[in-house]
């Protein structure tokens, strides 16, 4: 099983600041099939980034993804109030086919 | 606009069978894989398994012995059954469409609203 470890567990920042979230895989992610999701309380996750660096439809340009192999990063360039949520990374291609990281909570400082 | 609407029993007793159905509206059903994902209260996400329009399935090995997925293409619906449930199966269950835009399905671009299933005696 490919284990995804996200850091930090909680990130406390202010609106307008830059957020950098990390996701590290226990082995190389196939074809960089690494995605990022945003989840707000009581809602389903929303796809932000797929294939490590491609923005999903309708996602603002302040969200960007980077990385390859085992180390991936989600960057939010300038935090808006609506960005405070929990973020998950997810990989495809291992066994099981899909696994998720444990999440990073982005909270208002 | 693709929409997934799911339903099923929300309260089960230990040893009963969880049964959920997800209907797809506003987009093609064929040519995609459709997944079930669950999230225990206050915890992270766990992929349960997937099915395509032909009925081909892949399950999470940790749940494989208890999971059955099926599809009804005439209604654009797919279903999940999980037998012999215990309190550890208490979670919000989501159905989701896998993004297959480049020929390989590798993430989830549309999600159902989620169904809280509680297992309690």
Q: Which residues of B touch A41 (CB under 8 A)?
A: none
Name the nearest CA neighbour of A96 among B50, B4, B117: B50
Per the CB < 8 A criterion, the answer to whether B98 and B83 are in contact is no
Shortest distance, CA A102 to any CA of chain B (angstroms):
5
Q: Could you tell me what percent of chain A has a pLDDT over 70?
A: 100
Asked if the Cβ–Cβ distance from B107 to A45 is below 8 Å, we say no
Contact at CB, B109 and A45, closer than 8 angstroms: no
Q: Which percentage of chain A shows pLDDT scores above 90?
A: 95
Q: With CA atoms as reference, report the closest residue to A39 among A109, A97, A104, A108.
A: A104
Q: What per-residue confidence (pLDDT) applies to A13?
A: 97
Residue B81 pLDDT level (bands cut at 50, 70, 90): very high
CB atoms within 10 A of CB A105: 15
Give per-residue pLDDT as tens, B9-60.
Answer: 999 999 999 999 999 999 899 999 999 999 999 999 999 999 999 999 999 9
Beta strands in chain A (DSSP E): 4-7, 10-13, 19-25, 34-39, 46-50, 54-55, 63-68, 71-76, 86-92, 98-100, 104-108
pLDDT tens digits for range A9-53: 999 999 999 999 999 999 999 899 999 999 999 999 999 999 999
Q: Residue B101 above 90 pLDDT?
A: no
Contact yes or no for A97 and B47 at CB 8 A: yes
CA of B102: which chain A residue's CA is closest?
A: A51
Q: Give me the percent of chain B exceeding a pLDDT of 90.
A: 92
The minimal CB distance from B106 to the residues A44, A56, A92 is found for A92
Q: Are strands B115-119 and A34-39 parallel, antiparallel or unpaired?
A: unpaired
| B20 neighbors B38 (Cβ within 8 angstroms) | no
Closest CA to A59 of A74, A67, A44, A49: A49
Task: Return the pLDDT at A94.
Answer: 82
pLDDT at residue B99 greater than cutoff 90: no
Chain A residues touching residue B37 (CB < 8 angstroms)? 98
Residue B103's pLDDT band (cuts 50, 70, 90):
confident
Q: Specify the pLDDT at position B102.
A: 79
| C-alpha gyration radius of chain B | 14
Answer yes or no: are the C-beta atoms of A27 and A2 closer than 8 Å: yes
- Average pLDDT of chain B is 96
- Indicate whether B69 pLDDT > 90: yes
Q: Is the pLDDT of residue B120 over 90?
A: yes
Of B58, B105, B111, the CB nearest to A44: B111
pLDDT at A22: 98
Task: Work out the average pLDDT over B86-114.
Answer: 93
Q: Give the other-Cβ count within 10 Å of B23's Cβ.
A: 18
* Residues in B touching A37 (Cβ below 8 Å): 108
Nearest chain A CA: its distance from B23 CA (Å): 16
* Residue to substitute from B2, B42, B45, interface A, most A β-carbons within 10 A: B45
């Amino acid at each position: 099983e490919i284990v995804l470890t996200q850091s930090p567990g909680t990130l406390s920042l202010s609106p307008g600041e830059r957020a950098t979230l990390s996701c590290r895989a226990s082995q190389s992610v196939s074809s960089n099939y690494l995605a990022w999701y945003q989840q707000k309380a009581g809602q389903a996750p929303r796809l932000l980034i797929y294939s490590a660096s491609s923005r999903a439809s309708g996602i603002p340009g302040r969200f960007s993804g980077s990385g390859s192999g085992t180390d991936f990063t989600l960057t939010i360039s300038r935090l808006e109030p609506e960005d405070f949520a929990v973020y998950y990374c997810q990989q495809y291609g291992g066994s099981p086919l899909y696994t998720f990281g444990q999440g990073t909570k982005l909270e208002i400082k | 606009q693709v929409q997934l609407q799911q339903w099923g029993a929300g309260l089960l007793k230990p040893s009963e069978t969880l049964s959920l159905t997800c209907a797809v509206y506003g987009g093609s059903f064929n040519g995609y894989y459709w997944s079930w994902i669950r999230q225990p209260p206050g915890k992270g996400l766990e992929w349960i398994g997937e099915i395509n329009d032909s009925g081909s399935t892949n399950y999470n090995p940790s749940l494989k012995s208890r999971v059955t997925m099926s599809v009804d293409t005439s209604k654009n619906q797919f279903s999940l059954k999980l037998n012999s449930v215990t309190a550890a199966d208490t979670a919000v269950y989501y159905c989701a469409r896998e993004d297959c835009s480049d020929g390989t399905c590798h993430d989830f671009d549309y999600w159902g609203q989620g169904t809280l299933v509680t297992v309690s005696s």
